[in-house]
Amino acid sequence: MIDLNDAIDPGSGFRLAVARDVNESGQIVGKGYIKGEQHAFLLTPNPLPNRGSVGTELTISGSGFGGKQGKIYIGMQRCSVKEWSNSSIRCILKRLSTSITPGAYDVTIESSETKAAHSTVMQQAFILRAPEIHHIDPEVGSAGDQITVKGYFFGSRKELIYLVDETGKKNVCKVRRWKMNPKTGKSEIVFVVPKGLRLDTYDLAVSNRIASATEEEAFTIEMNVSKPRGGCLTFPR
């Protein structure tokens, strides 16, 4: 089963509730909510995910691609081709060879079917997105605690997450898990609260090779409280 909410822009504020029907063009109609009010919706499928990050998987459907594998580029970044046929291409934006910033980029299909290779350009068909932080759980913890951060477009490769104090100092956190759904961009990080930080409230920042996202006053470090067998609370000195 596919959750259609994973297929729309997470920043739209729209929450799909019921899908009623699908027409011959693949468009889906139904009802959903925005700001608590019910509205009808019409979803039109894109030929490939129109947004993503490093690790996003793209599927391009059409005709005349040729049976021999060619090349796919997002801007100047070459993608890793996983499948190639005359009517469908599946590829992944696996790594960045040059610096790149968030924004809209052309998708270029280079066919190798003929001696004189030709290109098809889909103008500004893919939007490279910066990381988005949507949820932190828990928002309060102590040194050594594992914290989960959820959002979108963190990228598939393990990068950096920081707790930033009021002076702007970035305290690097150890990452236990870093993952991103290659088709939807839905992402999750599990990190460990560093030792030696003072009890305070910190900004939380997620950084990858494209951009950074910061949630201000997002996490509070509190005193570590342990409970011995006798049932009394012991506070460390």
Burial bucket for residue 35 (CB in 10 Å: 0-12, 13-18, 19+): exposed
Same domain membership, residue 41 and residue 76: no
Q: Do residue 139 and residue 192 come from a single domain?
A: yes
- Is the same domain home to 118 and 68? yes
Beta strands at 170-172 and 140-141: parallel, antiparallel or unpaired: unpaired
Domains held by the chain: number: 3
Extended beta strands in the chain, E state: 14-22, 28-34, 37-43, 51-52, 57-61, 71-74, 77-78, 80-84, 88-92, 103-110, 119-128, 132-137, 140-141, 146-152, 160-164, 170-172, 174-180, 186-192, 201-207, 212-221
Tell me, yes or no, whether 229 lies in a domain: no
Contact 197, 129 (CB under 8 A): no
Residue 159 domain flag: yes
Residues 104 and 61 in one domain: yes
Do 63 and 84 have their domain in common?
A: yes
Question: What pTM did the predictor assign?
Answer: 0.73
**Domain membership flag for residue 117:** yes
Same structural domain, 89 and 165:
no
Instruction: Based on the fold, state whether residues 108 and 167 are members of the same structural domain.
Output: no
Tens of each residue's pLDDT in the chain, 237 residues: 345 665 666 666 777 787 777 665 556 777 888 878 888 867 665 545 589 999 999 988 887 888 889 999 999 999 999 999 988 899 999 878 767 899 999 999 998 865 555 788 888 889 999 999 999 999 999 999 999 999 999 999 999 999 999 999 999 999 999 999 999 999 999 999 999 999 999 999 999 999 999 999 999 999 876 544 444 444 454
Show which of 86, 109, 129 is a domain's final residue. Answer: 129
Q: Is residue 185 part of a domain?
A: yes
Q: Do 119 and 154 share a domain, yes or no?
A: no
Q: What is the CATH number of the domain that holds 84?
A: 2.60.40.10
Q: Beta strand pairing status for 212-221 and 140-141?
A: parallel
Give the residue from 129, 163, 192 where a domain finishes: 129
Q: Retrieve residue 206's tokens.
A: 């997620």
Closest CA to 202 of 132, 147, 130, 131: 147
Task: Return d(Cα 234, Cα 113) in angstroms, integer.
Answer: 72
Domain end point (choices 129, 153, 175):
129
119-128 and 132-137 strand pairing: unpaired
Closest CA to 38 of 14, 8, 11, 19: 14
Question: What range defines the domain where residue 185 resides?
Answer: 132-221
Same domain, 152 and 217: yes
